[in-house]
């Protein structure tokens, strides 16, 4: 399963206004209140950061959530999975360079649990890695090492391991979790979305509190929110 780690989040530095939250959550509230200049918090039902952000979600004022952001570092995931991830164009990505030598492969859990399938997986990936190295050795006679590695990667499988840094605002992250953590999504991508949600709820609990993680009948985890209106 991919490892997900929070490595950066929004800092809020406005000195003349106070709330009971920090960072991106405070910024989201500030942005929302700036629209109506409601600095004195006249409504007691939205006087806290948690209740105010929930109100924004309930009424669909999600543009305010674009001001807060979080950066996650994803490791130990197969390159094939990142092909699905990068389809979310509202994120910013920095992925392991294609010209680096492959160091590992990431075996799907269902294959790992089945001895016969595991043996086939190992044989296939070892053959691909051997072919890669043979191509690199031959290509380096005519092109640079970096160019040789880039060309030779064409024979590597989708299971080749990679790492990627992903930055997104809260609205983008909410959308990603809403559509990728459901039972209708491939298990690997769903696991990644749920893992990201856990880190996001640590970084900005009020901005993601409406999402609930539960166990699907097949034993895997899903996440959903009754307040999601964007799909």
Q: Is 187 annotated as a binding residue?
A: no
Q: Is 88 annotated as a binding residue?
A: yes
What single DSSP character describes residue 210? T
Q: Can 5 be counted among the known catalytic residues?
A: no
Q: Are 149 and 99 in contact (CB under 8 A)?
A: yes
Separation of alpha carbons 180 and 173, rounded Å: 10
Q: Name the active-site residue from 33, 149, 180, 190.
A: 180
Q: Is 99 annotated as a binding residue?
A: no
Q: Are 213 and 198 in contact (CB under 8 A)?
A: yes
Residue 152 neighbours by CB under 8 Å, 6+ apart: 132, 133, 135, 136, 139
Q: Is 85 annotated as a binding residue?
A: yes
Q: Is 184 annotated as a binding residue?
A: no
Q: Is 93 annotated as a binding residue?
A: no
Q: Is 97 annotated as a binding residue?
A: no
Q: Is 94 annotated as a binding residue?
A: no
> Tokens 């809403």 map to which residue?
178
Separation of alpha carbons 180 and 196, rounded Å: 11
E strand spans, the chain: 3-9, 69-78, 92-95, 161-169, 212-215, 221-224
Backbone angles phi, psi at 9, to 5 degrees: -155, 165
Separation of alpha carbons 47 and 18, rounded Å: 11
Q: Is 153 annotated as a binding residue?
A: yes
Q: Is 89 annotated as a binding residue?
A: yes
Q: Is 170 annotated as a binding residue?
A: yes
Residues with a catalytic annotation lie at 180
Residues that constitute the known binding site for dUMP:
84-87, 153, 180
Residues that constitute the known binding site:
63, 84-89, 95, 153, 169-171, 175, 180
Residues that constitute the known binding site for FAD:
63, 87-89, 95, 169-171, 175
């Amino acid at each position: 399963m991919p490892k997900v780690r929070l490595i950066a989040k929004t800092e809020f530095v406005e000195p003349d206004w106070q709330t009971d939250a920090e960072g991106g959550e405070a910024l989201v509230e500030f942005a929302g209140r700036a629209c109506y200049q409601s600095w004195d918090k006249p409504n007691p039902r939205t006087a806290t950061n948690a209740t105010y952000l929930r109100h924004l979600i309930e009424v669909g004022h999600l543009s305010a959530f674009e001001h807060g952001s979080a950066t996650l570092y994803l490791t130990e995931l197969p390159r094939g999975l990142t092909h699905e991830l990068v389809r979310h164009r509202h994120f910013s990505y920095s992925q392991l360079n294609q010209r680096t030598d492959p160091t590992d492969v990431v075996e799907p859990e269902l294959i790992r649990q089945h001895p016969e399938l595991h043996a086939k997986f190992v044989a296939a990936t070892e053959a691909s890695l051997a072919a890669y190295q043979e191509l690199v050795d031959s290509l380096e006679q005519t092109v640079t090492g970096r160019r040789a590695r880039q060309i030779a990667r064409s024979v590597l499988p989708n299971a080749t391991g990679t790492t990627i840094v992903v930055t997104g605002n809260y609205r983008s992250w909410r959308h990603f979790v809403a559509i990728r953590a459901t039972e209708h999504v491939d298990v690997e991508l769903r696991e990644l979305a749920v893992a990201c949600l856990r880190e996001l709820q640590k970084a900005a609990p009020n901005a993601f509190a409406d999402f609930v993680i539960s166990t699907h009948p097949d034993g895997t985890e899903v996440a959903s929110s009754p307040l999601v209106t964007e799909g």
